[in-house]
Structure 1
Amino acid sequence: MSKQLEGPILPFLRIDATIALPKFRQVQDQLRMAILKGHLRAGTRLPASRILADELGLSRQTLVRVLENLKAEGYLEARQGAGTFVSAALPRQSTKLSMPARGDVTDSAPPRLSRIGEQSRRMSADIGQMEDRPFLPNRPALDRFPFAIWRKCWNAVARSGKAVAMGYGDVAGELVLRQRIAEYLALHRRDPCDPEQIVITPGGHAAFSLAALALADAGDGIWFEDPGPITTSNLFRTLGLRLCPTHVDAEGLDVEGAIARYPDARLAFVMPSRHHPLGVTLTLPRRLALLEWARANDAWIIEDDYDSEFRYDGAPLPSMRSIDSNGRVIYAGSFSKALYPGLRVGYLVLPPPLIGTFRNLSALIHRSVPVETQLALAEFIGGGHFASHLRRMRSLYAERRETFTQVAQETLAGLARIDSSESGLNALAWLKGGRQDQAPHRAVLDAGLQCYPLSDYTIATPLPGALILGYAGVPADRMRPLLLRLADAIARTEGNIGR
């Protein structure tokens, strides 16, 4: 790039012909104020005087005068052969707004918000911002991700020079990615579908939002497993749905109880392959009963296929969609656990009558997931790298699960009972002695570790205290010292029984 063209665009510079202040003074004052407010940071290179003069419609001599005056005042500095810069000697200015501390009372009235905005305002500001510490639930082994191969896939897309990668792309997602996902589902989930039934979304929660908005109105009921993920329950509440908490036992969602209590619900949100956080699987009789309820009541089932790729005893279980003969299941999947959360690619598999509606709604809300990301992911799957990565991760997580379970049973003996299901990335530590989980949770955080308290996931059904612990992101050789630290943290809360 020519040095003449370097430097920021300065749209705040305006010449007002209606005031008596000379034009050079107007520009000079505006530049000085931008520097004082931190809009032009120390060390920023300014555009050349010729460029500024052309953009403002002034003579170059006028702009040279402005720049020289600001140099004399100490706001700017010249660097031989490089140009004019905001002086590095100036103190850094903060442009952040002054925010009241959480819980502080201010004199100003709260802003007028929509119903959705008001619901969002009441939620915790920490949603989705958990620190990445040992035992963070749902965290894959990011250190084992094949970054070199992923980079090659991305570079292959860039080198192809496809102009489509620079556009908005298909509102349903790039066809090549939908084809790769359809192939994967047919081979690995025993659930064939047409690529036209797939809509790509920016992550799993976007998929849930799309389904809720397309299929239910505010006030409609949605069966929701209790306990269940707090961010997802908050999402449905925010969208105006009436949450219908439904008990989960060893056989999964209590379908009979849900029918008795909430027969008129419009939706059911379920995690049949592996419930989070309890880790149970929805039995076949209950799956069939759920499908029959949906058919008979013109209701819809949102199937969250939560980390089903990681089953350590036998092949992954078939999806509910694969046994749905009436087209009542909307299948939702993502790559957050299988690859990494920051990828932000999810997808829906839809019954044919819903395809047009979901495509149109996705176009209105999301427009499209970044095309380059989709094409790189398609290259990664098509090259066999996704299957290879899953195979390696299953082996790794099985090893880490076995080590975690063995060491945790030793180190937490007398403190907690370990419940590690045959799939997924997490385990439950059921606290002994009638202890509740909030105080142990705080102690674990204070110890530099991470977990979720089960009580945060419960809606209407009280459960014994338990901590949700993620083992997949912790190397086997670090398990013992970290679990000893965890045990020490829990032990320090022994006086908090019943709190």
Structure 2
Amino acid sequence: MTPSHQVPTGVTMPMERRRQLLATAQERDFLIVEDDYDFEMSFLHAPSPSLKSLDQTGRVIYVGSFSKALFPGLRIGHLVAPAPFIAEARRLRLLILRHPPGHMQRTTAYFLALGHYDQLVRDMRIAFAERPTIAARAIERVGLEVSGAATIGGTNLWVRGPDGLDALRLANAARKSGVLIEPGTPFYDLPKGPVPFFRLAYSSIITERIEKDISLLADRLHGGLQE
């Protein structure tokens, strides 16, 4: 589960549904793996409580990663679960891969303990706060539609194109103009036709370029998708 920002739409799971899910897990005797993806990036209000923080019966396994907020090559994450589960997970991991270098783990631990990670998250929220709004307005101006509720947080927008659009073809065409999008096709199980949805990230682009690049995307869309 990705309750903070569902992948790919970016929708946040309401509190009522979170409680219902926990009750169902208890009733039907199953575990929930919570991947709290992009929970730090909440712009209009404080992040919602995680499923794990609401869990009273040990049904939730909480996982997360520092690789996105810090840097991809870090390969350090975290796991919150009952002690027996963590012990078994450690044994299983030894059979799959070696742990990250000890000095990287210690450096990350110090980074957290000294409050630098919290400051980084605050800085990222300030830097990203206006980008989804600017992007959403630009998207609507060129005749596209922001679907879901990604404008309240996260680092992507889930965009719907015109009916009949093939997002795969649009992605290939847009790449020629230096604009990268993620087609929505892989998120569908056996789609019956072209998928008009795609994800547009704004975390790696400066604010001043957002409108220009969305205009380039629209030119490709309305220009017949010549690849």
TM-score of the superposed pair, with normalisation by structure 1: 0.42
CA distances 1:418-460 after superposition (whole Å, capped 9, x unpaired): 2443110001221024323222122112222211111221125
Residue aligning to 1:294: 25
CA distances 1:443-484 after superposition (whole Å, capped 9, x unpaired): 112222211111221125769511210011110111222122
Question: 377-386 vs 450-459, which deviates more?
Answer: 377-386
Residue aligning to 1:438: 168
After superposition, where does 1:39-188 map in structure 2 within 5 Å? none
Q: Tell me, yes or no, if structure 1 residue 425 matches structure 2 residue 165.
A: no
After superposition, where does 1:344-359 map in structure 2 within 5 Å? 344-359=75-90
Structure 1 residue matching 2:198: 3-state secondary structure: strand
1:336–1:342 CA contact under 8 A, matched in 2: yes
Residue aligning to 2:100: 369
TM-score of the superposed pair, with normalisation by structure 2: 0.89
Residue aligning to 2:179: 449
1:274–1:308 CA contact under 8 A, matched in 2: yes
Structure 1 residue matching 2:151: 3-state secondary structure: coil
Higher relative contact order (CA 8 A, sep 6+): 2
After superposition, where does 1:324-335 map in structure 2 within 5 Å? 324-335=55-66
> 2 CA distance for matches of 1:326 and 1:352?
14
Instruction: Work out which of the residue numbers 472, 491, 494 in structure 1 matches 2:222.
Output: 491
Query: How many residues were matched structurally?
Result: 223
Instruction: Work out which of the residue numbers 120, 123, 140 in structure 2 matches 1:389.
Output: 120
Shift of 1:295: 2.2
Residue aligning to 1:340: 71
- Cα pair distance change 1:461/1:290, threshold 3 Å: farther
Residue aligning to 1:304: 35
Residue aligning to 1:283: 14
> 1 CA distance for matches of 2:126 and 2:28?
43
> 2 CA distance for matches of 1:384 and 1:398?
21
- RMSD over aligned CA atoms reads 2.1
Q: Tell me, yes or no, if structure 1 residue 470 matches structure 2 residue 198.
A: no
Shift of 1:386: 1.1
Amino acid at match of 1:441: A
> 2 CA distance for matches of 1:374 and 1:353?
22
> 2 CA distance for matches of 1:438 and 1:487?
15
> 1 CA distance for matches of 2:15 and 2:86?
28
Question: 367-376 vs 326-335, which deviates more?
Answer: 367-376
CA distances 1:192-229 after superposition (whole Å, capped 9, x unpaired): xxxxxxxxxxxxxxxxxxxxxxxxxxxxxxxxxxxxxx
1:428–1:469 CA contact under 8 A, matched in 2: yes
Structure 2 residue matching 1:480: 3-state secondary structure: helix
> 2 CA distance for matches of 1:373 and 1:429?
37
Shift of 1:374: 0.9
Shift of 1:494: 6.6
Amino acid at match of 1:490: L
Residue aligning to 1:63: none
- Cα pair distance change 1:421/1:483, threshold 3 Å: same
2:18–2:51 CA contact under 8 A, matched in 1: yes
Amino acid at match of 2:118: A
- Cα pair distance change 1:360/1:494, threshold 3 Å: closer
- Cα pair distance change 1:279/1:314, threshold 3 Å: same
- Cα pair distance change 1:315/1:452, threshold 3 Å: same
Moved over 3 A (4+): 460-464
- Cα pair distance change 1:421/1:399, threshold 3 Å: closer
Q: Where does structure 2 lack aligned partners over 5 or more consecutive residues? A: none
2:66–2:74 CA contact under 8 A, matched in 1: yes
Structure 2 residue matching 1:456: 3-state secondary structure: helix
> 2 CA distance for matches of 1:480 and 1:461?
31
> 2 CA distance for matches of 1:432 and 1:494?
13
> 1 CA distance for matches of 2:25 and 2:162?
40
Structure 1 residue matching 2:129: 3-state secondary structure: helix
- Cα pair distance change 1:364/1:399, threshold 3 Å: same
Structure 2 residue matching 1:421: 3-state secondary structure: helix
